[in-house]
Amino acid sequence: MKWDPTGYAHHAAFVAELGAPLLELLAPQPGETILDVGCGDGALTAQIAAAGCEVLGIDASPEQVAATRARGLDARALDAQLLEHQPELSRRFHGILSNAALHWMPDQAAVGRGMAYVLRPGGRCAVELGGAGNVARVRAGLFAALEQHGIDPEPRNPWTFPDRDTMAGHLEGAGFAIDMLELFPRPTQLPGDISGWFETFAGVFLDGLPDVRRQAVIASARERLSAELCSAGTWTLDYVRLRFRCHLP
């Protein structure tokens, strides 16, 4: 999936805004080295840097990495599922922050091992991702619209939304001690129409489709969901978040 930083800034600024509690959970200190896993356009990366930290952002999207660098920040294109194979990053960081990124990474056990690999002894992580049940109604409407247009959604599905026990297994298997791990609903209002959300977050389901067919799928999904998720012109999606803090003993 190719990310468009301009579209992301317009339709998804709420992602960084809602990630603010993670900064409190991580509590970055001046002089620390911090890794931002799945940095996106660098909105939270910049806040970590402003706290006086040396911060590196990584993201699998070259376009988002370029947007982060445009803020004057250090960033590199790297799939976090490959962190454990980056010897130059071994034991480099005091802390890791990751917001709304891990659910795009199917091998979350590898991400856990990679985070442990790059942290210093005693290092900690503050992470939030979509958890079990995240956007379940949205997915149901989108999948039905895709199937209506003769498209099987499952092979295109990029999301992995784990439950608490699954994530705990990944973390403990990587050697982490879990300080807190919670799964909670967070209904989330969109800044605009759900069509923009589909273009930004569900583009992988639509990749390769002619524009007319692409827009027909979006319109069908929108129609299916409007009565349930839209009130007085405001769309509120059924987000469920999994948030945790862990550390290396």
pLDDT tens string 94-110 = 999 999 999 999 999 99
Give the three-class secondary structure for 38: coil
Domain boundaries, the chain: 5-134+160-190+239-247
Cα dist. 156→50, 86, 91, 143, 242 in Å? Answer: 38, 28, 35, 10, 23
What per-residue confidence (pLDDT) applies to 206? 93
Q: 154: which 2 tokens?
A: 């499952």
C-alpha to C-alpha distance for 233 and 249, rounded to whole angstroms? 49
Which of these ranges, 5-9, 132-136, 140-144, 183-187, has the smallest mean pLDDT?
5-9
What per-residue confidence (pLDDT) applies to 222? 98
Q: What global pTM score does this model have? A: 0.92
What per-residue confidence (pLDDT) applies to 11? 45
Whether the Cβ atoms of residue 102 and residue 129 lie closer than 8 Å to each other: yes
Main-chain phi, psi angles of 104, to 5 degrees = -90, 0
Using 50, 70 and 90 to split pLDDT, how confident is the model at 17? confident
Whether the Cβ atoms of residue 55 and residue 76 lie closer than 8 Å to each other: no
Q: Does domain 5-134+160-190+239-247 fall into CATH 3.40.50.150?
A: yes
What per-residue confidence (pLDDT) applies to 10? 46
Q: pLDDT by residue (tens digit) across 131-167?
A: 999 999 999 999 999 999 999 999 999 999 999 999 9
- Please report, rounded to a whole number, the percentage of residues in the chain having pLDDT higher than 90: 90
